[in-house]
Amino acid sequence: MTGSTTKSCYVGVDVGTGSVRASIVTKSGKVLASSTQETKTWRDPHDHRVFEQSTTDIWSRIGVAIKDCLSASGVEPSAVKGLGFDATCSLAVTDFEGEPVIVTKGEEIGGHGERNTILWADHRAEEEAELINRTGSVVLDYVGGKMSLEMEVPKVLWLKKHMSPEHFHKCQFFDLPDFLTYQATRDSSRSTCSLTCKCSYVANSGWQKEFFEQIGLEELSEREYAQMGPKDGEEVLIAGMPVGEGLSKKAAEELGLRPGTPVGSAIIDAYAGWLGTIAARFADDKQELSEVPTIEESGHRLAAVAGTSTCHIVQSPSDIFVNGVWGPYKDPILSGWWMNEGGQSSTGQLIDFILTTHPAYPELVELGKKNQKPIHTVLEERLEKLRTESAVETLTELTKDLHLYPDLHGNRSPIADPRMRGSIVGLELSNSLNDLAKKYHATLLAIALQTRHIIDTLNGAGHHISAIYMSGGQAKNAGLMQLFADVCGMPVVLPRDSGGAVVLGAAMLGRLAVEFAQGEGGSRGKLKEGQAERLWGIMVEMTPPGTLVSPKASPREKKLLEAKYKIFLESIEIQKRWRKEIEDATK
């Protein structure tokens, strides 16, 4: 037990696609306890695009996770000095009393009920996104030229089309991270991260009245944006700034913490991954730690937050416009800095799909149980056996004639086209475990090739990325991490705790909120002036050293990887051309 010796610590809460994770973290970044709780997701059996969740379920799981952490660590609630949240960029809908509003298409939509959250992965708003992308609005300049149907405004527009005006008028719309701070404090302040990254709030100019009128959401501007966030000119909080008066009495009881505990302004989960990794030092081959990074060094480090999907975030001191890549966003984490965000809609989900839909998957699971090994280990061993038997140098050469294009769930960036689909070229008449192993490796390679496509696009537009900083479950996949290094031609830094980096970032927000709340006071403007340096200092202090994975491809493999990359790019153009030919033929 640590309760008697722990004077102060912080709670971070990460709400992912399928679970909630809470951690209690010390000032030095040491994790005292963690707890993960699964959350519910509803699918429509008649519409594969639909993914819905419940803020009631999510909040209850957060309470269980935090109480588990307190119990396991022995930390007293009074020792928890601050609380921070991150979450997926899902749309949470409530009325103005905070009661959940149903978002499910049908007779009950707009009434009170549990299913009130449209998950980020929900693709129901395709028509609405297409309408938005025909406007030519300045809003589009700040999302890579094309708005994704995964963002919040297309989903709000979809809800307007399917709700009665009476029901729609009563709705509040939150990006999920901001809902969590609202639920915790009952203060409806919104974060720069959520508003600029997902809600069409434009850097330096705020809400765009003409844009909302163009797309048929004029009531938002008529009501001075009360349904979406602040009025023009009202305060928007930068990451970690204190929200309201801290935890409400009701929320404190639900979470097992003290009323008034400072709550930091929240961020989207991918940005928490940036926060929890990008300031890491790393050990070289001689086990010597790199120098303490400066805030300027952050501009050369790409944070890749890899789970169900993958987000790629890079910071810069000025605005850089990149076609097909979201942003530039001003102040999403550090005051005065800009960020761009690339992404892959399906990565961890893609790996699972390729495995579970193959005829040899039951055999793979059975082998794993028999040998008491994870299925990925079984596949890696099978691939190495095949490589040896085939007398080839690398797994890239083993699968040289198998080409997989990975956009089974559309392309987030840099093509920004939800209609893109996956493909496999080089199929054999085989349903064996060997065939599954080869397809598994081809999938990993495709994810790495697409990562390079995103990095090349970012660097081509003016960024200077020279290293990848990973977080999320995929960081545990050693083969994939080596492919990232070899395909992208740059080192990959792995966090000490791949699954905990994101929730560590959330805990950092709680610590900053405490420092502001206990600090010198002053206006919000003065707090913003020092926010970047203070938060960067916290990041450096709380981020544990990472492990360096260096590129090691031989000249032969480099040549083969270049050929694979060329084929990857060609497959994009082929798919576009084929689509046009089919469209022309069916007009």
- What pLDDT does 171 receive? 97
Q: What contacts 152, CB < 8 A, 6 or more positions away?
A: 89, 91, 173, 175, 198, 199, 200
Q: Which two tokens stand for residue 30?
A: 């040491």
| Average confidence score pLDDT of the chain | 94
Judge whether residue 438 has pLDDT over 70. yes
Q: CA 511 from chain center: how many Å?
A: 22
Q: Report which of residues 521 and 527 the model is more confident about.
A: 527
Residue 64: how many other CB atoms lie within 10 Å = 15
Q: Report which of residues 7 and 558 the model is more confident about.
A: 558
CA atoms within 13 A on the CB side of 136: 0
- What pLDDT does 522 receive? 47
- What pLDDT does 3 receive? 42
**Cβ proximity of 184 and 263 under 8 Å:** yes
- What pLDDT does 1 receive? 39
Task: List pLDDT tens digits, range 317-359.
Answer: 999 999 999 999 999 999 999 999 999 999 999 999 999 999 9
Residues 181/13/247/522 CA torsion (nearest 10 deg): -70
- What pLDDT does 528 receive? 74
Judge whether residue 5 has pLDDT over 70. no
**Cβ proximity of 231 and 225 under 8 Å:** yes
Task: List pLDDT tens digits, range 23-75.
Answer: 999 999 999 999 999 999 999 998 989 999 999 999 999 999 999 999 999 99
Task: List pLDDT tens digits, range 155-196.
Answer: 999 999 999 999 999 999 999 999 999 999 999 999 999 999
Which of 104-108, 132-136, 284-288, 364-368 is predicted with the least confidence, judged by mean pLDDT? 284-288
Q: Which two tokens stand for residue 353?
A: 């799909």
Judge whether residue 308 has pLDDT over 90. no
Q: What contacts 71, CB < 8 A, 6 or more positions away?
A: none
Predicted confidence band of residue 394 (pLDDT cuts 50, 70, 90): very high
Predicted confidence band of residue 546 (pLDDT cuts 50, 70, 90): very high
Task: List pLDDT tens digits, range 508-518.
Answer: 999 999 999 87
**Cβ proximity of 102 and 116 under 8 Å:** yes
Q: Could you tell me the domains of the chain? A: 9-255 (3.30.420.40), 348-494+554-585 (1.20.58.2240)
| φ, ψ (nearest 5 deg) of residue 24 | -105, 125
pTM of the predicted structure, to 2 decimals: 0.92
